[in-house]
Structure 1
Amino acid sequence: MITTILLTLPLSLYRNIANLGKVSFSSLVLTIAILVIVVVKAATLGPHIPATEGAWVFAQPNAIQAVGVMAFAFICHHNSFLIYGSLEEPTINNWSRITHVSVLFALLISVVFAACGYGTFTGYTQGDIFENYCRNDNWATTGRFLFGITIVLTFPIECFVTREVIGNLFFAGTLSTIFHIVVTVCIVAAAMAISLAFDCLGIVLELNGVIGATPLVFIIPAACYLKLSEKSWYHWDSLQSCMILITGILVMIVGFVMTVMFPQECSHGKEMLYCMPSNSSIYNITVFFNGTVS
């Protein structure tokens, strides 16, 4: 609550999204630092954790929930117009270059995070990867701290978009200074209340993905294209849109049902089995004599 009041709220009160450029860049730098920690831990901690049975099966039944999580990770549709308008030279060529570079960079970071995280913990992997690291792991604690800062620095952009939508719907697109502050405080307070009610990040990302991100990424753009396009339904572009639309609907429905009925477990701060001193000794002895952990 103190962090929200002293850091998140002041940053969220900006009226121009361009002012958040340096804040977003700082968040990106911290994300890379966290990625370095995860990669290093994969190389040092990974060999001491036994792989679980069936760890490398191609897809488990809950893979559909991962689609929602990844959709949430890559969603940028809701703030695209605001960011486009904040460019010094808002041209289609600049926008195309920025979006392609940004999304490809995000893809690279996500793939490395996923590969190193799962490669380290396999079947033990939690919805929040930092739940997997031991309490006395100083590097992991540093990563948790940096991740908290990235959330503080990233939230204002999402708050800006939410406030903009509220302003367009209820205040004719213009918020006075008083209403700007009131709406911002309400948005930040609501997000803080929800965050205090949940301690498992995995299910939050899954629900955000299947309920919020999937419609914005898959359903709404495809539906709008089919509605506005003058091309025949059997044209390749129309068929692509139909496939994307159907995929989005299936992911949203199936993902929501599976998230609610079969939620992913979180350790909720408990020490994992391999963090126990006795188990760690057994693993180290096994590695010493056999060279690998089975």
Structure 2
Amino acid sequence: MTFAFICHHNSFLIYGSLEQPTIKNWTRVTHISVFFGLFLNVAFAASGYITFTGYTQGDLFENYCKNDNLITAGRFLYAITIILTFPIECFVTREVIANLFFGGTLSTIFHVVVTVCIVAAVTGIALAFDCLGIVLELNGVVAAIPLVFIIPTACYLKLSEESWCHWDSIQSFIVLITGILVMIVGFVMAIMFPQGCSHGKEMFYCMPSNSSMYNLTGSVNETVS
């Protein structure tokens, strides 16, 4: 959840893209977006678990059989969505490159060239590996957790003029300690107990020999006589 909702690196660019960049408009847009995203996550998670119970995969598409045409269409639409969303993540990288090597300004040609190179490089790496779950795990515990929980609270405690006994300081300290513990535990778990990759593997109930034994219309049930 932390990794999914982290967007600090895009905040300034998105704020500047508002037609009227005010704190009021920014607050409304961010709150509506986050709660809408939370609603969708909960809705899909609950629906997936109700349907597949203990067999629910992290990617719900992996729960469906390859011969399901409707789900195949859903996979295609999802891929299109990701393709259109992914460049947003590249904007920050392009901004850093522009500031570091081009004085903060890119011509139209370099703007296109840099964007294409970033997208092509990341796409090539992604296509070279089948399972990227470990990358997301490490990115979450090494990058997302510090950005969300550790660095902001540490900066607040350093710069705040409130005493350590003040409620705001106590809250920040609790969040800081929690973030450190989550980062350490998450890193150890990701390295010591890596999750297996089921990408592209058919679930057991999709096999022809088991198709008559399992009913998936509402949920994954036990053997049907």
**In structure 1, how many angstroms separate the alpha carbons of the residues matched to 2:50 and 2:164?**
44
Over 3 Å counting, the alpha-carbon distance change for 1:189 and 1:275 in structure 2 is same
Do the aligned partners of residues 120 and 243 (structure 1) sit closer, same or farther apart at CA in structure 2, a change above 3 Å counting?
Answer: same
Please report how far the alpha carbon of residue 73 of structure 1 lies from its aligned counterpart in structure 2 after TM superposition: 0.8
Aligned residues: 219
Instruction: Provide closer, same or farther for how the CA distance between residues 194 and 118 of structure 1 changes in structure 2, counting only shifts above 3 A.
Output: farther
CA–CA distance in 2 between the matches of 1:139 and 1:205?
28
Corresponding residue of 1:265: 196
What's 2:222 paired with?
A: 293
Q: CA deviation at 1:207?
A: 2.6
CA spacing shift, 1:164–1:261, aligned 2, 3 Å: same
Identity among equivalent positions (%) equals 78
Cα offset, 1:82, TM superposition: 1.0
Deviation, 1:81, is 0.9
In the alignment, the residues of structure 2 paired with residue 201 and residue 95 of structure 1 have an alpha-carbon distance, to the nearest angstrom, of 33
**Structure 1 equivalent of residue 162 of structure 2:** 231
- Residue in 1 that maps onto 2:179: 248
1:151 pairs with one of 65, 68, 82:
82
Q: Give structure 1 stretches of 5+ with no counterpart.
A: 1-69
Return the TM-score normalized by structure 2: 0.87
Report 1 or 2 for greater relative contact order, CA contacts < 8 Å, sequence distance ≥ 6.
Answer: 1
Counterpart amino acid of 1:208?
Answer: N
For residue 201 of structure 1, report the CA deviation from its aligned partner: 4.8
Aligned in 2, Cα 1:198/1:153: closer, same or farther, shift over 3 Å? same
**2:92 aligned partner:** 161
CA separation of 1:204 and 1:93: change in aligned 2, threshold 3 A: same
How many angstroms apart in 1 are the aligned matches of 2:47 and 2:133? 17
CA contact (8 A) 1:207 1:259 kept: yes
* Higher helix residue share: 1
Residues 135, 141 of structure 1: 8 Å contact kept: yes
Contact 1:218 1:248 in 2 (8 A): yes
- What is residue 49 of structure 1 aligned with on the other side? none
- In structure 2, give the amino acid aligned to 1:227: K
Unaligned runs of 5+ in 2: none
Partner of 2:4: 73
Deviation, 1:225, is: 1.7
Secondary structure of the structure 2 residue equivalent to 1:120: helix
- Deviation of 1:87 after TM superposition, in Å, equals 0.9
Q: Map 1:102-141; keep pairs closer than 5 Å.
A: 102-141=33-72
Q: 1:119 to 1:264 in 2, by over 3 A?
A: farther
Q: Over aligned residues, Cα RMSD in angstroms? A: 2.1
| Counterparts of 1:199 and 1:125, CA distance in 2 | 20
Contact preservation (8 Å) 1:127, 1:266: no
Contact 1:128 1:202 in 2 (8 A): no
2:206 to 241, 264, 275: 275
CA distance, structure 2, for counterparts of residue 71 and residue 161 of structure 1:
19
Residue range with higher mean Cα deviation, 94-103 or 187-196: 187-196
TM normalised by structure 1 equals 0.68
**Contact 1:128-1:266 at 8 Å conserved across structures:** no
Distance 1:257-1:183 versus aligned 2 partners, 3 A rule: farther
Change over 3 Å in CA distance of 1:226–1:170 after alignment to 2:
farther
